[in-house]
Every structure is written in structure tokens, then in C-alpha cells.
């Protein structure tokens, strides 16, 4: 994922969460107008604010496809109910919350599709024994690993300890991969024993590899990730 796409995603999610909070405020106003007790208003508001933390869950993909679809239905139902309240009481300025809530529902559906792919890939993954090379293995010398035109980059080896979600997150944060690409790359590392990923310069490769290793060691993962170059190999 390019930096511009990341920025657009962050802005969209912040805008959606802000719109949802506005919707919560409107619902609270409606409940108060209907003379419900403050405890009920507080509980409803707290529940809705809790759902807004879906943005955090979306980043780490912690939910199942079914739960994501339920969340999408929740957001869209909340949007329709809010629209009805707004139109009934002529709070037209609050209509700006509807697109934000719709966006949250759409992102939940997108997350459900990604989760389905992960479930299917994990099922396939579990049916294939992983390949694990010794830590000193050089993929530059192994057939089938060297990408066309590869000059320099990073080498990542599979192991039996490092968690898959850590590898996915590292690929996304340090190499700018999208969610699907990072998942596919992680699965390739698991099936094939490792991967060579090209970078523009050796300095960039060293910086990325050092950052990934530092994060891995902080979590006590023995992940092998290093900068490599075909020059002098």
C-alpha cells in the first residue's frame, strides 16, 4: 500500500468514526427526548462507542467473516434508524453522519471478504507441511527463490516459532504491502521456507531488515530477516 493510500484510509476511518460518534450523540438526544432514564442512555452510548473500536480490530483482522457481516448489518441498521429519527425530528444537519456510518458498514464487508480468504488459506496451509531451512541458509543459492532482475533486497526465512500475524504486520508496516499481498507473502514463506523481496538500494534493505529483526526480538521471535545482494554472493 502506497503512503497516499494509507493516508486516505486513515482519513476515511477517522471520518467514519467521527460520524458514528455524531450519530451516537443524536441517538442520545432522541432517547433523552423520549424521557428514558440516564442509565439506559449511558449504556446505549457506551455500547455504540465500543463498536466504534472496530477500526482497531480491522487493522489486526481479529474477527471472523460472520462477525464482520453482523457488524456491517449493525452499522447500516443504525444508519437507517438515525435517518428516520433525523427526518422525523427535522435534525437535517445530522444527515452528514449517514455516509460515515455507511462507510463503516462497507469496510466491515471488505474485512469479511479478507477474513474469508484468510480462513481458506489457513485451511490449505495446515494441510501442507511447512518448510524450515537452517538460519544460515542463503536463498540466493537455492533454485526458485531469486526474482527476475533481483539486485538487492531482504531475505526472510521461515521458522516454527514466529507467529504468522507478526510476519503479516511486519510486511505491511516495513515494506508497505497491502493486506492481501502481505498475507500471500507470509503464506509463501510458510510453504516454501522463505522469500527474497527486492528493494531499491542496499541501504534500504538494511534499514528494513534491521527494523523487522528489532521488532521480532522484542517479542522473542527468532525470525531470520537480513539484507542480501547478488553482488559478491
d(CA 101, CA 78): 8
The pLDDT of residue 18: 60
Contact residues for 53 (Cβ-Cβ < 8 A; gap 6+): none
At residue 225, φ and ψ (nearest 5 deg) are -145, 120
* pTM of the shown model: 0.54
Residue 180 has a CB neighbour count (10 Å cut-off) of 12
Name the percent of the chain lying above pLDDT 70. 65
Mean pLDDT across 163-167:
89
Q: Give me the chain's average pLDDT, please.
A: 77
pLDDT band at 2 (very low <50, low <70, confident <90, very high): very low
pLDDT band at 60 (very low <50, low <70, confident <90, very high): very low
Cβ–Cβ < 8 Å for 58, 111: yes
Residue 135 pLDDT > 80: yes
- Asked which of 68-72, 123-127, 165-169, 206-210 is least confident by mean pLDDT, the reply is 123-127
pLDDT band at 56 (very low <50, low <70, confident <90, very high): very low
**Which residue bears the cell 441498521?**
77
Cβ–Cβ < 8 Å for 54, 104: yes
| Domain ranges for the chain | 3-126, 139-229
More confident residue, 63 or 145: 145
d(CA 145, CA 9): 33
pLDDT band at 217 (very low <50, low <70, confident <90, very high): very high
Query: 106-131 burial, b for 16+ CB within 10 Å, e for fewer?
Result: ebbbebbebbeebeeeeeeeeeeeee
More confident residue, 42 or 123: 123
At residue 219, φ and ψ (nearest 5 deg) are -105, 10
Start-to-end CA distance of the chain, whole Å, equals: 31
Mean pLDDT across 95-110:
76
Closest of 168, 134, 155, 143 to residue 202, by C-alpha: 155
CATH 3.20.20.70 at 139-229, yes or no: no
For 12, 99, 102, 143, 196, the CA distances from 76, given in Å and listed in that order, are 17, 10, 6, 51, 43
Amino acid at each position: 500500500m502506497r503512503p497516499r493510500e494509507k493516508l486516505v484510509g486513515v482519513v476515511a476511518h477517522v471520518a467514519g468514526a467521527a460520524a458514528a460518534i455524531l450519530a451516537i450523540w443524536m441517538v442520545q438526544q432522541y432517547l433523552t427526548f423520549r424521557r428514558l432514564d440516564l442509565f439506559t442512555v449511558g449504556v446505549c452510548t457506551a455500547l455504540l462507542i465500543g463498536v466504534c473500536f472496530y477500526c482497531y480490530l480491522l487493522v489486526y483482522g481479529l474477527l471472523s467473516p460472520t462477525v464482520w457481516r453482523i457488524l456491517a448489518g449493525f452499522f447500516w441498521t443504525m444508519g437507517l434508524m438515525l435517518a428516520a429519527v433525523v427526518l422525523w425530528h427535522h435534525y437535517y444537519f445530522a444527515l452528514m453522519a449517514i455516509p460515515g456510518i455507511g462507510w463503516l458498514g462497507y469496510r466491515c464487508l471488505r474485512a469479511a471478504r479478507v477474513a474469508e480468504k484468510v480462513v481458506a488459506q489457513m485451511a490449505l496451509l495446515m494441510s501442507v507441511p511447512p518448510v524450515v531451512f537452517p538460519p544460515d541458509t542463503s536463498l540466493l543459492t537455492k533454485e526458485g527463490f531469486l526474482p527476475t532482475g533481483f539486485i538487492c533486497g531482504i531475505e526472510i526465512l521461515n521458522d516454527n516459532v514466529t507467529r504468522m500475524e507478526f510476519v503479516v504486520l511486519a510486511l505491511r508496516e516495513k515494506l508497505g504491502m497491502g493486506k492481501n499481498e502481505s498475507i500471500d507473502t507470509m503464506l509463501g514463506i510458510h510453504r516454501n521456507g522463505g522469500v527474497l523481496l527486492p528493494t531499491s538500494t542496499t541501504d534500504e534493505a538494511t534499514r528494513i531488515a534491521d527494523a523487522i529483526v528489532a521488532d521480532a526480538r522484542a517479542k522473542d521471535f527468532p525470525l531470520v530477516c537480513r539484507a542480501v545482494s547478488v553482488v559478491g554472493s
